[in-house]
Amino acid sequence: MIGTSSNAIHFIIPVRHPDSVVDPASQALRIHQLVQSLKGQTSQNWRATFVVNPGQNLPELSSNFDLQYVDFPANTEARDAANYSEFSRAVDLDRGRRVFAALHRVATGSLVMPTDDDDLFHRDLVSFVESADWDGGWLIDKGYIWRSGSFFLGRMDSFHITCGSSMIFPLDSLLPEGSNEDLDEDFFLELGNHRTLLERLPEDSVIWKRIPFRAAIYRVGHGDSSLSRIRRDFPYRRAGQLNFTWLQSYKRRLKAKFIGHPSERIHSVLFTPRMKRAFLGAE
Report pLDDT digits (tens) over 216-258. 999 987 666 655 555 555 554 344 444 444 445 545 544 444 4
Which of 115-119, 157-161, 259-263, 279-283 ranks highest by mean pLDDT?
115-119
Give the three-class secondary structure for 66: strand
- What band does 122 get if pLDDT is binned at 50, 70 and 90? very high
User: What average pLDDT does the segment 69-75 reach?
Assistant: 95
In total, the chain counts a number of residues equal to 283
pLDDT at 239: 40
pLDDT at 29: 92
pLDDT at 227: 56
Which of 28-32, 85-89, 251-255 ranks highest by mean pLDDT?
28-32
Q: Which is more confidently placed, 259 or 212?
A: 212
Give the three-class secondary structure for 195: helix
- What band does 23 get if pLDDT is binned at 50, 70 and 90? confident
Amino acid at the residue 214: R
pLDDT at 7: 75
Where does residue 61 fall: left (phi above 0), alpha (psi -120 to 50 degrees), or beta otherwise? beta
Which of 72-81, 102-111, 122-131, 160-169 ranks highest by mean pLDDT?
122-131
Lowest mean pLDDT among 3-7, 62-66, 108-112, 211-215: 3-7
Q: Which pTM does this prediction carry? A: 0.85
- What band does 282 get if pLDDT is binned at 50, 70 and 90? low
pLDDT at 233: 57
Across all residues in the chain, what is the average pLDDT?
Answer: 83
pLDDT at 34: 96
Give the three-class secondary structure for 219: strand
CA distances (Å), 210 to each of 129, 135, 168, 214, in order? 10, 13, 10, 10
| List of E strands, 73-148 | 111-114, 120-121, 137-139, 143-147
What residues pair up with 218 in beta bridges, in sequence order? 145
pLDDT at 111: 94
User: Domain spans of the chain?
Assistant: 9-176+183-280
CA distances (Å), 9 to each of 134, 137, 220, in order? 13, 11, 24
What residues pair up with 267 in beta bridges, in sequence order? 155
CB 47 within 8 A of CB 10: yes
- What band does 200 get if pLDDT is binned at 50, 70 and 90? low
CB 43 within 8 A of CB 240: no
Lowest mean pLDDT among 80-89, 123-132, 154-163: 80-89
Give the three-class secondary structure for 168: strand
What is the strand order of the sheet 143-147 is part of?
Answer: 120-121, 216-220, 143-147, 152-156, 267-270
Nearest CA among 226, 189, 255, 220 for reference residue 84? 226
Architecture label for domain 9-176+183-280 = Alpha-Beta Complex (3.90)
Cα separation of 283 and 280, whole Å?
6
Cα separation of 115 and 33, whole Å?
13
pLDDT in tens, 32-60: 999 999 999 999 999 999 999 999 999 99
Q: Which is more confidently placed, 77 or 84?
A: 77
Burial 254-267 (b: 16+ CB within 10 A, else e): bbeebbeeeeeeee
pLDDT at 165: 94
CB 254 within 8 A of CB 197: no
Amino acid at the residue 116: D
